[in-house]
Amino acid sequence: MADRSFIDRLAEVWRSTAEVCAELTDEEWELPTDCPGWSVKDQVAHLIGTESMLLGLPSPPPVPPGLPHVRNPIGEMNEAWVAPLRDQPGPVVLAHFRDVTDRRLAELAELDDAALEAETPSPIGVVPYARFMDVRVMDCWVHEQDIRRAVGRHGHLDGAAAEAAIRRLTSSFPLIVGKRVAPPDGTTVVLDITGPRRLALAVAVEGGRATPVDAPDTPTAAAMMELETFVRLVTGRCTGAEALGAGGVTLVGDVGIARSLVENLSTMP
């Protein structure tokens, strides 16, 4: 039987997003976020757009070319959904968000195992639809965090949706160390993330490959940061230099390797 737990996680993150947005003033809806060119309202509009597309609703017309924050065809598609809602009041956009996500939850609840196991194009390639929806949990949670940082209402850093998102965001750590940082054989590298629950990611490098291990007491190199800093780095919301310059990261051991790790954490274009 196909795993349906993603439905509860989507409901959780959409509910949390709606709750934080229900508190916003008109000015807060217009605040800029870490996504270039997007306000808090645009973030919600983007979530509406993706779920509307998954509902099979017709796509809006494309936006004019040349927008500086639109860099590729995926960005053009996203902006086409965002632009029509840009002049709408925040509460109207929020009502639209609630309607679309309610419809999506109802639709997902009706899917049978064959539909959940069907191979489907997704941001991580062609995968079963249920796995694609697990990616949606991560993506929606990341955008919720964009909103929360912009309006200074930090939260929803634990719970089932957050844990699923963090699990996916940390899954590329061995690849980042082995391929991007590429330290010499015999190196052990640790990423120590603090937050509601401490998470220590550790790998040992042998034969040019980084393999997960238990965190050693004295690794060759380590970087320590809070969860929110990690999320900004891994999602490309800030650069390693910016995080280091803000004092949000502590480097231990071989500083060159640790710095390279911080500078190479981004997994999103």
Which residues of the chain, if any, have pLDDT below 70? 64-68, 70-73, 75, 269
Q: Is 268 left (phi over 0), alpha (psi -120 to 50) or beta?
A: beta
pLDDT at 268: 80
Can you give the pLDDT at residue 169? 97
Is the domain of 155 the same as that of 197?
A: no
Helices (H), the chain: 5-21, 26-29, 40-54, 73-82, 90-109, 113-117, 129-151, 160-170, 173-175, 227-234, 240-245, 255-263
150 domain-assigned: yes
Which residues have a Cβ under 8 Å from the Cβ of 64 and sit 6 or more positions away? Answer: none
Q: How far apart are the first and last CA of the chain?
A: 34
pLDDT at residue 64 in the model: 61
Residues 78, 66 share a domain: yes
- 190 and 108 within one domain: no
* Overall domain count for the chain: 2
Q: Are residues 164 and 179 in the same domain?
A: no
> In the listed set 138, 168, 198, which residue is the last one of a domain according to the structure?
168
> pLDDT, tens digit, for every residue of 105-139?
999 999 999 999 999 999 999 999 999 999 999 99
Q: Are residues 35 and 146 in the same domain?
A: yes
Beta bridge partners of 251: 223
Question: Which residue segment(s) compose the domain that 58 sits in?
Answer: 5-168
Rg (C-alpha) for the chain, rounded Å, is 20
Q: By C-alpha distance, which of 42, 44, 7 is closest to 164?
A: 7
Residue 268 lies in a domain: no
Residues 153 and 195 in one domain: no
Same domain as 113, residue 84: yes
CATH code, 209: 3.30.1050.10
Which pLDDT belongs to residue 71? 67
Considering the domain architecture, whether residues 161 and 190 belong to the same structural domain is answered as no
Q: Are residues 160 and 182 in the same domain?
A: no
Q: Please name the residue that has the structure tokens 């230099």.
A: 241
| Spatial separation of the C-alpha atoms in residues 129 and 108, rounded to whole Å | 10
Specify whether 35 is located in the same domain as 134: yes
Contact 81, 59 (CB under 8 A): yes
Do residues 146 and 54 share a domain?
A: yes
User: Residue 77 has what pLDDT?
Assistant: 76
> Can you give the CATH number for the domain in which 90 is found?
1.20.120.450
98/127 Cα distance (integer angstroms): 27
Q: Is residue 178 part of a domain?
A: yes
Q: What is the pLDDT of residues 61-119, one digit of tens each?
A: 877 665 657 566 676 778 889 999 999 999 999 999 999 999 999 999 999 999 999 99
Residue of 39, 24, 21 whose CA lies nearest to 87: 39
Residue 156 backbone phi and psi in degrees, to 5: 50, 50
Q: Is residue 94 part of a domain?
A: yes
**Main-chain dihedrals φ then ψ at residue 214, nearest 5 degrees:** -65, 145
Asked if 119 and 75 sit in the same domain, the reply is yes
